């Protein structure tokens, strides 16, 4: 009876894959307490606030049964009153959380900064040099409560008119997924192109001053990370290839319920080229036993031997700094970096597809399932 009065009930049933209830016989509809017996607590939990109103008279009636005529009524009838009270309370509690989670989702949607349909303008808050060719650019979101609104790991497109041509490039924010008010990016600038094709986005972004705006659109999902999907994650990054790794790293480490351990091997030309080193070192200190970073540089001074690796990423380095293949554990190795490094470490991607596994990861004995190429 109550189910028929509830506006939310068909949706809730659909959500929970419950079959439609048979219509109750008319004779029973007048028997309020019988109705409560027939609707068990679980079903009652799915009722809307209307149910509270529906249940109220029965709750009162139940109280009367206890106080005045309990002796004359059967135990079953008294039990039905109790069921009503418990069920209505449980229903209210459940629906409260259901309604609030819907409201929360609406609010999140409203406070999402990006759109997949149109480019939106984002003002630069600060633009700092990280290395000779790489900057840390912080953008302001529409309000202090706004987030970029992406899932890990995702990127977005930035667009600008450069030398009369429209240029659009993908970039990966390094700020946390739920960071409010601002979004941070590590952006590398390259020497000008010689083929006359549109380009120069990195240089354009590097030249921006606080208050200048950049058009952004997205987000574009690259890899869908789920907590505890893997026991151990290995990461091999080169240069700005650190950006998707840092997204996943923060997602793992700042989730108290995620037990995944992460080992990162980060390759750069020189010590001065290592990007966001302080942040990586801080995470290693904050999460001992869960996160370990090793840096490798092409050329290093003598004292570097104590601190990290030297030279290109090799099979031996992967075994030392990340892990060796082990068919038993749930593991993944993420790889992201410049094309020559990708070729040498994991083999090329085939367009947007993963392509065959190659490079030193194949030599080490890893399989295609073990590796994800960004």
Ligand X SMILES: Cc1cc2nc3c(=O)[nH]c(=O)nc-3n(C[C@H](O)[C@H](O)[C@H](O)COP(=O)(O)OP(=O)(O)OC[C@H]3O[C@@H](n4cnc5c(N)ncnc54)[C@H](O)[C@@H]3O)c2cc1C
Residue 66 is a binding residue for ligand X (CB under 6 A): no
Which C-beta is closer to ligand X: that of 113 or that of 240? 240
In the beta sheet, which residues pair with residue 97?
Answer: none
**Binding segment for ligand X among 1-9, 200-208, 261-269, 309-317 (CB under 6 A)?**
200-208
Which C-beta is closer to ligand X: that of 110 or that of 352? 352
CB of 264 to ligand X, least distance (A): 16
Which C-beta is closer to ligand X: that of 218 or that of 234? 218
Among 81, 149, 202, 359, binds ligand X (CB under 6 A): 202
Q: What is the spatial distance between Cα 248 and Cα 283, in angstroms, rounded to a whole number?
A: 13
Which of these, 118, 232, 130, 227, lies nearest to 188 by C-alpha position?
Answer: 130
Contact string 152-181 vs ligand X (x = CB under 6 A): ---x-----------x-xxxx---------
Which C-beta is closer to ligand X: that of 196 or that of 288? 196
How far, CA to CA in Å, does 259 sit from each of 341, 346, 371?
30, 26, 20
Structure tokens at 202: 């990195």
Residue 295 is a binding residue for ligand X (CB under 6 A): no
Give the CB-nearest residue to ligand X.
199
Binding footprint of ligand X, residue count (CB under 6 A): 21
Which C-beta is closer to ligand X: that of 35 or that of 186? 186
Q: What is the spatial distance between Cα 337 and Cα 241, in angstroms, rounded to a whole number?
A: 4
Q: What is the spatial distance between Cα 34 and Cα 81, in angstroms, rounded to a whole number?
A: 9
Contact string 229-268 vs ligand X (x = CB under 6 A): -----------x--x-------------------------
Which C-beta is closer to ligand X: that of 39 or that of 243? 243
Residue 201 is a binding residue for ligand X (CB under 6 A): yes
Which C-beta is closer to ligand X: that of 170 or that of 316? 170
CB of 160 to ligand X, least distance (A): 9
CB of 143 to ligand X, least distance (A): 24
Among 81, 87, 91, 200, binds ligand X (CB under 6 A): 200
| Preceding peptide of 227 cis, ω within 30° | no
Which C-beta is closer to ligand X: that of 34 or that of 133? 133
Residue 340 is a binding residue for ligand X (CB under 6 A): no
- Contact residues: ligand X, CB under 6 A: 155, 167, 169-172, 185-188, 190-191, 193-195, 199-202, 240, 243
């Amino acid at each position: 009876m109550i189910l028929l009065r509830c506006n939310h009930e068909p949706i809730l049933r659909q959500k929970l894959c419950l079959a439609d209830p048979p219509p109750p016989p008319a004779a029973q509809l007048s028997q309020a307490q019988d109705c409560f017996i027939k609707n068990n607590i679980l079903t009652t939990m799915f009722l809307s606030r209307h149910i509270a109103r529906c249940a109220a008279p029965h709750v009162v009636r139940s109280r009367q049964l206890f106080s005045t005529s309990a002796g004359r009524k059967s135990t079953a009838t008294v039990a039905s009153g109790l069921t009503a009270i418990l069920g209505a309370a449980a229903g209210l509690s459940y629906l409260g959380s259901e309604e609030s989670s819907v409201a929360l989702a609406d609010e999140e949607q409203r406070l999402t900064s990006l759109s997949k349909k149109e480019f939106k303008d984002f003002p630069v808050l600060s633009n700092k040099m990280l290395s000779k060719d790489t900057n840390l650019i912080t953008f302001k979101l529409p309000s202090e409560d706004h987030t970029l609104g992406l899932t890990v790991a995702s990127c977005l497109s930035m667009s600008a008119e450069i030398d009369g041509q429209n240029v659009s490039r993908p970039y990966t924010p390094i700020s946390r997924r739920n960071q409010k008010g601002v979004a941070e990016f590590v952006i590398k600038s390259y020497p000008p192109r010689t083929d006359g094709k549109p380009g120069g986005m990195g240089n354009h972004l590097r030249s921006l001053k606080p208050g200048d705006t950049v058009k952004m659109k997205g987000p574009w999902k690259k890899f869908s990370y789920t907590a505890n999907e893997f026991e151990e994650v290995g990461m091999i990054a080169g240069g700005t290839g650190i950006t998707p790794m840092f997204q996943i790293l923060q997602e793992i480490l700042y989730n108290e319920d995620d037990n995944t351990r992460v080992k990162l091997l980060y390759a750069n030309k020189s010590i001065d080229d290592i990007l966001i080193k302080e942040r990586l070192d801080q995470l290693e200190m904050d999460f001992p036993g869960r996160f370990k970073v090793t840096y490798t540089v092409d050329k290093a001074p003598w004292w570097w031997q104590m601190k990290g690796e030297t030279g290109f990423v090799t099979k031996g380095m992967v075994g030392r700094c990340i892990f060796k293949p082990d068919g038993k554990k749930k593991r993944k190795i993420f790889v992201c970096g410049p094309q020559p490094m990708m070729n040498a470490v994991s083999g090329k991607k085939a367009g947007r597809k993963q392509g065959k596994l190659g490079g030193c990861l194949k030599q080490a004995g890893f399989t295609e399932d073990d590796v994800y190429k960004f």
